[in-house]
Structure 1
Amino acid sequence: MAEPTINYQQLAEKIKSWGEELGFAGVGICGIDLAEHEKPLLDWLDNNYHGSMDYMARHGLMRARAYELVPGTLRVVSVRMNYLPEGAKFAQTLKQPDKAYVSRYALGRDYHKLMRKRLKQLGEKIKSHCASFNYRPFVDSAPVLERPLAENAGLGWVGKHSLVIDEKSGSWFFLGELLVDIPLPVDTKPENKCGSCVACMTICPTGAIVEPYVVDARKCISYLTIEHKGVIDEALRPLMGNRIYGCDDCQLICPWNKYASLSNESDFQSRHNLDNSNLLDLFAFDEPTFMKTFEGSPIRRIGIDAWHRNIAIALGNAPYQQEVVDALEQKLSQCSDLVAEHVTWALHQQHKKATLVVEPKRQTLRLIRAVEKGLPRDA
């Protein structure tokens, strides 16, 4: 008996409808040709912009060749899921240097498992409508250029900060992919509407967006606090402020995010008061507390040393407080060499600020005495 002919146009429409039912904010379909991205990828690697992320270089051009990753792949079903929680408290946290700023994508539960599960459900729905069908779901779990794929699938355009922007929903969303072996009709790549705007480039605290659409990870606070496992460049530490896990500045400043959509996923809402936590409280975590608190969170994967390293930098950037000095000194007696490097720096910063706190008082007293004696004020 001959296999029934599949109407791929109708199937594509069904896939998008199923995706929405599963909680995806957008579903698009694209081909697998990313040849135009191969040279920029190689240039980025040659410039060592990937920093210590060796896996970026290890897979090389496979990232632009889905057919090498999963032989037989003909199309990519690209999806996005909004993650911006209600009451994100951006400015409220960034303006209080004694608070800890955590990138808003990491306030709730880890998105990887949730999205992968739903992508698999989507794949099974497609499979039930095809006599022969193979698929592989990916969520940050494979060497694929997910942002160019999402752009080709019509989910938005890649902005100058390298993130995908949708004109109706902003950029606060996760991406995921299904690599499939059926010839679905493809969607249209949207117009890039960044225009002459360079707000994301100028707002970046460390100047990590070295040219439009090119990010030097070695300067990026998200990379430094999450991916990088070693010592953070001393020149970059004062620029990190109170950002202890990730950075959202380039998205915060983007004009398109005034249209941003909030997430209705309970898993992405803030847990453990992470949107309003004091640095000292988080710095006091020992490893068991860290592991327990961040069970099911993307934060857990950086480990306790990077956690203390990042917070030590933030404490060094905070205003002088004796309790900060006390906490740093206590940590210094019971931490790894990596953490000690940053705690020592933070103590030095606090001691410098202590001097500045005392010195103006001395100058004021000197001025008062000079006036009382009728001396020139610069005497």
Structure 2
Amino acid sequence: MNAEDAAREIGGEAARLGFDAFGAAPAAVPEIERERIDRWIAKRMHGTMAWMERSAAVRKDPTLLLPGARSVWIGAVNYFHEAPRREGDGRVSIYASGRDYHRAIGGLLRRLAETARRVFPGAAVRPFVDSAPVLEKYYAERAGIGWRGKHSNLIVPGAGSWFFLAGFLIDRDLAPGERAADRCGSCTACIDACPTGAIPAPYTVDGSRCISYLTIEHRGAVDSDLAARSGDWIFGCDICQEVCPWNRFAKPARLTDFHPRAGGASIGLEEALQLGRERFDARFEGSPLRRAGWERFRGSVERAIANRDPERE
């Protein structure tokens, strides 16, 4: 089977499984992207995420992850839904109010990988869903799915940026898409709206200042100025996407896994503070919120309460 026919067959199965957009790209990472990684790490924009530095070599050379990797198949899955919330609650990023995407999309990818192995008997396939050091956004842009916005999220034309990215490496050739053009123009809405100044320049996110990082990944005490600027966010942050003009085209997710669970995109702060480790683990079983862990989650809740009620300090 030639590369074009293979891409069509894999794409047909991907659409049936629930992927909203997809494409393929050469696995080799160009020098400009490798240099981008090196600059980001050198400026310590990864904060306390030491694993980002340790895995940099693999991000720059996917054959270290899958020997002989020649192509990357990459797909986008919409997770958007309306996020009503009660005043005074702590805010949760939209993506985290449904099922853990690692589990939900991981199951789809395993089935898609089987399709790839059937199309290419004997092929080596390595799936990933934010679970391996792979440049998902670069590959999605190179495959023609969309372009990286100034907030660094992938923007899908006519659909916005509320998408998970996942795919697989394969040691076979897949017909590549045509690289998407940047359509942000002169807009700086995301840069202007970020309360912590985490977008110091277009297309660059200083992870060490990002509210998502501070509420999910950061180890240790949070800088007091950044804590005060984090507002009522207790897990993740959607501000740069909420203000993006392209997200006026967003439509509700098709996959029910990403429809909001009880509590939706907000959680009562006092209630959250009283959970304790065991109840936290039980309440958020199967949810992305488990990633933060009880101690980090509690710290985020305490900061949100302090920002809401400064007189309680």
TM-superposed CA distance for 1:276, in Å, is: 4.2
Q: 1:208 aligned to 198, 218, 223, which one?
A: 198
Q: 1:133 aligned to 123, 131, 135, which one?
A: 123
Partner residue, 1:23:
18
Partner residue, 1:360:
none
Q: Counterparts in 2 of 1:1-379, with a 5 A limit?
A: 6-35=1-30, 36-85=32-81, 87-89=82-84, 92=85, 96=87, 98-319=88-309, 349-351=310-312
- What is the alpha-carbon distance in structure 2 between the residues aligned to residue 351 and residue 70 of structure 1? 53
Q: What's the secondary structure of 1:316's corresponding residue? A: helix
- What is the alpha-carbon distance in structure 2 between the residues aligned to residue 216 and residue 28 of structure 1? 28
Change (3 A) 1:281 1:274: farther
Task: Name the aligned partner's letter for residue 214 of structure 1.
Answer: T
Task: Name the aligned partner's letter for residue 295 of structure 2.
Answer: D
Q: What's the secondary structure of 1:274's corresponding residue? A: coil
TM-score, normalised relative to structure 2: 0.96
With CA pairs under 8 Å and 6+ residues apart, which has the higher RCO, 1 or 2? 2
Instruction: Indicate conservation of the 8 Å contact 1:78/1:149, yes or no.
Output: yes
Consecutive aligned runs of 4 or more in structure 1 exceeding 6 Å deviation: none
Task: Name the aligned partner's letter for residue 56 of structure 2.
Answer: G
CA displacement 1:59-83 (0-9 Å, x = unmatched): 2232021122211111000011111
- What is the alpha-carbon distance in structure 1 between the residues aligned to residue 33 and residue 2 of structure 2? 31
- What is the alpha-carbon distance in structure 2 between the residues aligned to residue 245 and residue 313 of structure 1? 12
TM-superposed CA distance for 1:126, in Å, is: 2.1
Change (3 A) 1:351 1:10: closer
CA displacement 1:147-170 (0-9 Å, x = unmatched): 101111111101111110011110
Instruction: Indicate conservation of the 8 Å contact 1:272/1:293, yes or no.
Output: no
Unpaired runs of at least 5, structure 1: 1-5, 320-348, 353-379
Unpaired runs of at least 5, structure 2: none
- What is the alpha-carbon distance in structure 2 between the residues aligned to residue 299 and residue 229 of structure 1? 16
TM-score, normalised relative to structure 1: 0.80
Instruction: Indicate conservation of the 8 Å contact 2:27/2:169, yes or no.
Output: no
TM-superposed CA distance for 1:137, in Å, is: 0.3
Partner residue, 1:364:
none
CA displacement 1:109-167 (0-9 Å, x = unmatched): 10002211111111111222333322010011111111101111111101111110011
Task: Name the aligned partner's letter for residue 24 of structure 1.
Answer: F
Task: Name the aligned partner's letter for residue 75 of structure 2.
Answer: V
Q: What's the secondary structure of 2:76's corresponding residue? A: strand
TM-superposed CA distance for 1:351, in Å, is: 4.2
Of all paired residues, the percent bearing the same amino acid is 38
Q: What's the secondary structure of 1:214's corresponding residue? A: coil
Q: Which has the higher helix share?
A: 1
Q: What's the secondary structure of 2:237's corresponding residue? A: coil
- What is the alpha-carbon distance in structure 2 between the residues aligned to residue 244 and residue 141 of structure 1? 23
Equivalent residues, number: 312
Q: What's the secondary structure of 2:225's corresponding residue? A: coil
Instruction: Indicate conservation of the 8 Å contact 1:172/1:261, yes or no.
Output: no
- What is the alpha-carbon distance in structure 2 between the residues aligned to residue 67 and residue 261 of structure 1? 36
Instruction: Indicate conservation of the 8 Å contact 1:110/1:296, yes or no.
Output: yes
